[in-house]
Structure 1
Amino acid sequence: MNHVLCGLAANAALPSELLDRLIAVADADIAADLARRADLSPAQAVALASRDEDSAVGLVHAGRLTAADIDPVAQPQAALALLDEVVHSPEWARLFATDQDAERREKLATCPGLPSDVVETLAADPDVRVVVELASWTTPDVAARLATHPHAEVRRAVAANEATHPAVLAALITGEGLPPAQRCLVCDREETPFVHDPQCPRPDCDLLPGASCDGSHESTTHNIRQAALRNPATPTEAVVGFADHPSMLLRWALAARPDLPLEACERLAVDPVAGVRADLAENPAIGEALIRVLAGDRDPDVRRRLAHNPRVPLYVLTRLVGTAKIGATVLPRIAAASPGEVEELAQSPNPAARMLVARRRDLPAGIRDALATDPDAKVVRSVAAHPGLSETQLRAMVERHGAQVVAEAAANPEAPPALLEDLARHEPPVRKVFREVARHRNATAAALLACMADERARPVAAGHPALPPQVIVELLADDDWQVAEAAAANPSLPLAVMSDLVP
């Protein structure tokens, strides 16, 4: 891979004539970067598509190519991508429906709006993978027919399809009203009874660990139920009975459903599997009583997921912050807090409450400024990147709390150039500061040069347009390919150097 040419292919300042030259010599890697450019002319897009079909697919999905630009025989993947974009071409669809390449038929089966005769052809395809793809995306009527397909794997795909009619999904769970399946992926390949060894030594084996069949296709039947339980179109009354099912995977599939009645939630709240309780904890279906129960769960992931529940009361949420790793994010309940709740949180004697609300980036100026002077460093760190803070306020934060807040101050979108230079030279140095400064739009050449000493910040700084041109040119030969590629993509790279780089 020529990393310098790949970087140049992404350079926004590359002139059109050099772009033409680069297209003419592009390999697959360079073409991939070229295909992402927003300034390709229609003629350049067609020329690039003729060199690399993977890039042609990307150009199709970006809306840069039309059916008139594609030869379905020479560029089948691009043609299929157009069909996937609801470009109605019955002739192309019929061509691929009988293609000898099963992968192309499989891709066709995912396309919307196919002619009815093409759907019938795909539904009868001898390769079950093609029918499975059709079942995964097809319309309710076709899904209802495929629910009776003799292959259990097709039924599993129908169970996962959210367009499948609720009554059909309920039938797939129980099997009532459906003829027994005749085959599954296990008995297609192995003599039954068979249980797939989780430590299977065969490198070409793609059966799932534990897949089994004794003639009843039991592992695929289990997967059908699991898919239906996860499907939001499955009726609530068809799934609630699985809250006590012996299968952990089926209980787990149930736990995230937002339509669960309280009784099912209560049973899952005491499930022995922490993952089940964690999914339930984030489920808006649980009420305040269960939220309080789960707030005391022994598993930290349960408590962390509960903090992300949009219905968690604020008094519970502030307690959770002290017992679970929430991360530097605005939690859903905090994002939905009313103006009165925001003010109450900002004035709370509990620093955890102030920290949570400080992460919002739409705070009224008065609340933002009050939090910027908070005595707790965690609160200040949370508010430091809030737009609207002045240079004086940001410098005051750094003076009071030092290394605890410098990275967040550097991440403030309005941090001025002089402050960024000072933060990049802060003692003791904080590595995250270099990465924040290197990507900051206000970073100066001096600040960026200070960042070049940090291994992780170096590739980011190499692409910053404020870097001196002579430094950018030197970085083209850097030992780190990421740095060299970023330098080649830098719009401040001199035009004469760009021209010399293109063959």
Structure 2
Amino acid sequence: MNHVLNGLAANVALPSELVDRLIADADAATAGVLAGREDLTHEQALALVSRDPDTAQQLAREGRLTAADIDPATQPDAALTLLDRRAGNPEWARVLVRDPLVRNRERLAACAGLPSDVVETLAADPDVRVVAELAVWTTPDRAAVLARHPHAEVRRSVAANEAAPPAVLAALLTGGRLPPARWCLVCDREETPFVHPPECPRPDCDLLPGESCDGSHDSTVDETRQLALRNPATPTEAVVAFADHPSIRLRRLLAARPDLPPEVSERLATDRDPGVRADLAENPAIGATLIRAMAGDPDHDVRRGLARNPRVPLDVLGRLAGTTRIGPTLLPRVAVASPPEVEELARSSNPEVRMLLAQRRDLPPEIRDTLAADPDAKVVKSVAPHPGLSDATLRATVDRHGVRVVAAVAANPDATPALLADLTRHEPPVRKALRAVARHPRATAPALLVCLSDRDAGPLAAGHPALPPPVVEELLTDTDPRTAEAAAANPSLPLAVMSELVPRR
């Protein structure tokens, strides 16, 4: 792999004539980078496919090729990509449905708007994986038919189809009103009863650890129920019966459903498994009364789930912040707090609450500045990247809290070039700050030169357009291939150097 040529291929300043020369000699890696260029012309896209046919799929996905450019018989991947985007020729489906590669027929089965005769052929495909893929995406009428398929794997896929009729999904969940399945992927291959071992010695085996069949296709039936419980189209009256199911996994999926009736939520709130209670705690379907009742749960994950619930009352959130490790994250309830609530949170005596508020980036200037002057470093660290903070305020935060806030200050979009340069010289050094400076659009050459000395910040700095061109040229031969590639992609690289690097025919 030529890292310098890969970098050049991504360089936004590379002239069109040099792109043409790169295409003419591109290896697979460079061709893949070239295929992602936003300025690639249609003619260049066709030339790139001629050079490397494997780029056709990427170019089709990014809209560089049209249906007129594709032959489905020789370029099935690109044709399937266009069909999936509804930009292909529907007639291609009649060619691809006979493709000998199962993976291509599977991809075809996932495409929408296929001709009815193609759908019929896919539904009767000799490989169950193709039929199962069709079942995930097909229409309600077809899903209803496939739900009665004799293979359990097809029924499993119908359970994931949000277009499947609710009555069909209910039947798949409960097992009622459907004839028994005759096969599954396990009993297709093994004598039953069989449980697939966690560490299978057979290199060609694609069964998952724990998959089993005792004649009832038990692991596939369990997966079918899981998918039906995840499916929002499965009717509420069918799912509530699983509140007392012995499977913890099924109860957890039930606890996360947004259509839980209050009485079921109350039962799950006292579930013996903390994972069930934690999934319920984060569910917006539960109301303030139940949230308050669950706030004293001894399990940390349950309390953290409540903190993430968009309906948690602010007073409960304040108590949770004092007993639960939440971390510096923008919680849904904090994100939608009203102006009076924002003022209330800013006045909290609990620094954890103020830290959570400081994660917002739309705070009124007076509250933003108050939090920047907070005596607690974790509050200041959270608010330091907030736009609008003055240079004096940012410098004051570094003076008060040192290494604990340096990286956050360096990430502030309004940090001045002089401040960024000063942060790179901070003692002791803060490597995370160097990476932030190397990414910063306002960083200048003095700051970037310091960043080059760091293993991780160096490649970032090498691609920064403010780096002096002679330095960029020198970095093309750096021993770190990441740095050399970034330098080649730097738009400050002189045109004459670019021309010298691109092979000539």
Bigger drift between 404-413 and 123-132 goes to 404-413
In the superposition, relative to structure 1, how do residues 401 and 53 fare at CA in structure 2: closer, same or farther (>3 Å)? same
The offset of 1:289, in angstroms, is 3.2
Does the Cα contact within 8 Å between 1:90 and 1:115 map onto a contact in 2?
yes
Look up the match of 2:424: 424
Look up the match of 1:113: 113
> Pairwise mapping of residues 86-485 of structure 1 onto structure 2 (< 5 A)?
86-87=86-87, 89-485=89-485
Q: Percent identity?
A: 72
Q: Could you tell me how far apart the structure 1 residues matched to 2:267 and 2:58 are?
A: 47
Q: Could you tell me how far apart the structure 2 residues matched to 1:242 and 1:404 are?
A: 48
Bigger drift between 137-146 and 316-325 goes to 316-325
Bigger drift between 288-297 and 325-334 goes to 288-297
Q: Where do 4+ consecutive residues of structure 1 move more than 4 Å?
A: none
The offset of 1:293, in angstroms, is 4.0
The one-letter code matched in structure 2 to 1:51 is: R
Q: Could you tell me how far apart the structure 2 residues matched to 1:465 and 1:267 are?
A: 59
Bigger drift between 85-94 and 146-155 goes to 85-94
Does the Cα contact within 8 Å between 2:195 and 2:211 map onto a contact in 1?
yes
The one-letter code matched in structure 1 to 2:268 is: L
The offset of 1:244, in angstroms, is 1.2
Does the Cα contact within 8 Å between 2:83 and 2:90 map onto a contact in 1?
no
The offset of 1:484, in angstroms, is 1.4
Look up the match of 1:73: 73
The one-letter code matched in structure 2 to 1:119 is: V
Q: Could you tell me how far apart the structure 2 residues matched to 1:69 and 1:229 are?
A: 43
Does the Cα contact within 8 Å between 2:439 and 2:464 map onto a contact in 1?
yes
The one-letter code matched in structure 1 to 2:62 is: A
Q: Deviations over 1:249-306 (max 9, x none)?
A: 2112212101111222223223333332222221111222332344333333333332
How much is the aligned-residue C-alpha RMSD, in angstroms? 1.5
Secondary structure in 1 matching 2:221: helix
The offset of 1:333, in angstroms, is 0.6
Q: Deviations over 1:161-203 (max 9, x none)?
A: 1111111100111222211111100110011121212222222
> Pairwise mapping of residues 489-500 of structure 1 onto structure 2 (< 5 A)?
489-500=489-500
Look up the match of 1:35: 35
Does the Cα contact within 8 Å between 2:329 and 2:359 map onto a contact in 1?
yes
The one-letter code matched in structure 1 to 2:48 is: L
Q: Could you tell me how far apart the structure 2 residues matched to 1:273 and 1:24 are?
A: 62
Secondary structure in 2 matching 1:265: helix
Look up the match of 1:486: 486
Does the Cα contact within 8 Å between 2:462 and 2:486 map onto a contact in 1?
yes
- TM-score calculated relative to the size of structure 1: 0.97
The one-letter code matched in structure 2 to 1:241 is: A
Q: Could you tell me how far apart the structure 2 residues matched to 1:500 and 1:163 are?
A: 57
Bigger drift between 187-196 and 109-118 goes to 187-196
The offset of 1:128, in angstroms, is 0.5
The one-letter code matched in structure 1 to 2:28 is: A
Q: Could you tell me how far apart the structure 1 residues matched to 2:106 and 2:314 are?
A: 49
The offset of 1:342, in angstroms, is 0.8
The one-letter code matched in structure 1 to 2:275 is: G
Q: Deviations over 1:20-51 (max 9, x none)?
A: 11111222211221111111111112222333
Q: Could you tell me how far apart the structure 2 residues matched to 1:374 and 1:32 are?
A: 49
Q: Could you tell me how far apart the structure 1 residues matched to 2:379 and 2:467 are?
A: 34
Figure out how many residues of one structure are paired with residues of the other and give that number. Answer: 503
Secondary structure in 1 matching 2:379: helix
Q: Deviations over 1:28-85 (max 9, x none)?
A: 2112211111111111122223333442222222222110111212211001100000
The one-letter code matched in structure 2 to 1:223 is: E
Q: Could you tell me how far apart the structure 2 residues matched to 1:337 and 1:30 are?
A: 48
Q: Deviations over 1:114-147 (max 9, x none)?
A: 0111000000000001001100111111111100
The offset of 1:373, in angstroms, is 1.6
The one-letter code matched in structure 2 to 1:435 is: R
In the superposition, relative to structure 1, how do residues 60 and 324 fare at CA in structure 2: closer, same or farther (>3 Å)? farther
In the superposition, relative to structure 1, how do residues 200 and 294 fare at CA in structure 2: closer, same or farther (>3 Å)? farther
Does the Cα contact within 8 Å between 1:152 and 1:182 map onto a contact in 2?
yes
The offset of 1:88, in angstroms, is 5.0
In the superposition, relative to structure 1, how do residues 61 and 230 fare at CA in structure 2: closer, same or farther (>3 Å)? same
Does the Cα contact within 8 Å between 2:3 and 2:481 map onto a contact in 1?
yes
In the superposition, relative to structure 1, how do residues 224 and 81 fare at CA in structure 2: closer, same or farther (>3 Å)? same
In the superposition, relative to structure 1, how do residues 48 and 227 fare at CA in structure 2: closer, same or farther (>3 Å)? same
- TM-score calculated relative to the size of structure 2: 0.96
Q: Deviations over 1:212-253 (max 9, x none)?
A: 112211111111111101111000110111111111221122
Q: Could you tell me how far apart the structure 2 residues matched to 1:329 and 1:80 are?
A: 40
Does the Cα contact within 8 Å between 1:462 and 1:486 map onto a contact in 2?
yes
